[in-house]
């Protein structure tokens, strides 16, 4: 019986430890499907089909100034990959790749098998330490002693197990349990994304849509177009027997009452609203762009934004268009003139104490396009 359990244990061990590296290699090397500006044009079809662009699509699609092309629905630009990624959920630093349309299933399977492998390893560590301690424990009338030098019941153990091995096993058990909890939570989050057919970015867009409608009292009703109303239908769009997700990453099935551009139209409305509500500032102090600036005050140092978004360096006299902020930090865009001409945009966080709000004293000093003058 013990031999049968040992053989089954080995099968589980070999399956998990062989399949996990394969999945890790797949999600690290498999391209999540980029929207290449040379290949993709306004009609969301590839140029080698020689189809003509349709001007009505320009009205509903977002334009990426970095890639200099129109974004396909559900696509977003990743500043790490420097590409627009189809159905982008997030950029994972652990695999140095984006989780998107092509590798979403492999990424989710890896998040499932990694905790299972750690649970299996935790079971082995616990049973090993229990067995070794049981062989070395002795009970007295008033105390319990553990002799880690050698096993009392087995003078010649097959595997040497001393104090250092016990400490290493205990440390490995902690790592396995920590990985199980952390990666297991990520797996639950990704399964929620798959079953609702709504990426993390799209959940944020939907939340902002509700806030916009409530703030302006427009009377609109925003319906997320890609949730098919059935968890099984949403699941089948990602997981297939062939391993290739459904569709081409450009055209997506939508629910009744929606169309292909329902989400992109809402994104355009939110961007227009952000431009209207932005405020112009001028830098009054230099800022090097470090994450936690010591010279800008204790509160600024300890309240730095916990986000992957970059910081931008400032010099006295720089103009910044701020779009959002915290108590001691602000987020905005620098080099407004070059951005308007289609140049590289510098966006990121900077300390609030380094800037002051611009005052419009003359009619010739006008705010930039879309900026709110009185706030």
- Positions marked catalytic: 92
Of the candidates 313, 329, 335, 325, which has an alpha carbon nearest to the alpha carbon of residue 279? 325
Tokens encoding 32? 């999540």
Maximum Cα interatomic distance, the chain, rounded to a whole number of Å: 95
| Separation of alpha carbons 96 and 24, rounded Å | 11
CA 326, 88, 199, 267 torsion-angle sign: positive
| Separation of alpha carbons 168 and 148, rounded Å | 14
Which residues touch 123 (CB under 8 Å, ≥6 apart)? none
Contact present, 347 and 333 (Cβ < 8 Å): yes
Which residues touch 180 (CB under 8 Å, ≥6 apart)? 115, 118, 119, 122
Of the candidates 347, 217, 363, 229, which has an alpha carbon nearest to the alpha carbon of residue 289? 347
Q: Give the other-Cβ count within 10 Å of 352's Cβ.
A: 19
Q: Where on the phi/psi map is residue 288: left (φ > 0), alpha (ψ -120 to 50), or beta?
A: alpha
């Amino acid at each position: 019986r013990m031999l049968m359990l040992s053989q089954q244990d080995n099968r589980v061990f070999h399956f998990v430890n062989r399949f996990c590296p394969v999945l890790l290699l797949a999600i690290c090397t498999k391209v999540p499907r980029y929207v290449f500006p040379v290949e993709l044009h306004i009609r969301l079809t590839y140029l080698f089909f020689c189809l003509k662009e349709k001007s009505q699509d320009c009205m509903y699609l977002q334009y990426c100034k970095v890639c200099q092309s129109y974004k396909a629905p559900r696509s977003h630009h990743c500043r790490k990959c420097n590409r627009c990624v189809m159905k982008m959920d997030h950029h994972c630093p652990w695999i140095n790749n984006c989780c998107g349309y092509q590798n979403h299933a492999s990424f989710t399977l890896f998040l499932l098998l990694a905790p299972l492998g750690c649970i299996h390893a935790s079971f082995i560590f616990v049973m090993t330490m229990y067995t070794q301690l049981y062989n070395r424990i002795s009970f007295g009338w008033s105390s319990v002693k553990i002799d880690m030098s050698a096993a009392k019941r087995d003078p010649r153990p097959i595997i040497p197990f001393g104090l250092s091995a016990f400490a290493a096993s205990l440390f490995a058990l902690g790592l396995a349990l920590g990985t199980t909890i952390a990666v297991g939570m990520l797996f639950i989050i990704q399964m929620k994304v798959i079953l609702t057919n709504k990426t993390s970015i799209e959940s944020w867009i939907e939340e902002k849509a509700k806030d916009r409608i409530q703030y302006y009292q427009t009377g609109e009703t925003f319906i997320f177009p890609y949730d098919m109303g059935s968890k099984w239908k949403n699941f089948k769009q990602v997981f297939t027997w062939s391993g290739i997700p459904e569709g081409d990453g450009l055209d997506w099935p939508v629910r009744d009452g929606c169309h292909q551009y329902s989400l992109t139209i809402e994104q355009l409305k939110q961007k227009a609203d952000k431009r209207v509500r932005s405020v112009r500032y001028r830098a009054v102090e230099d800022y090097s762009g470090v994450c936690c600036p010591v010279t800008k005050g204790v509160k600024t140092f300890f309240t730095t934004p916990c986000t992957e978004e970059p910081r931008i360096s400032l010099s006295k006299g720089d103009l910044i268009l701020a779009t959002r902020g915290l108590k001691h930090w602000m987020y905005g865009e620098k080099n407004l003139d070059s951005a308007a001409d289609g140049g590289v945009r510098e966006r990121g966080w900077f300390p609030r104490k380094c800037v002051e709000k611009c005052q419009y004293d003359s009619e010739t000093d006008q705010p930039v396009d879309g900026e709110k003058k009185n706030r």
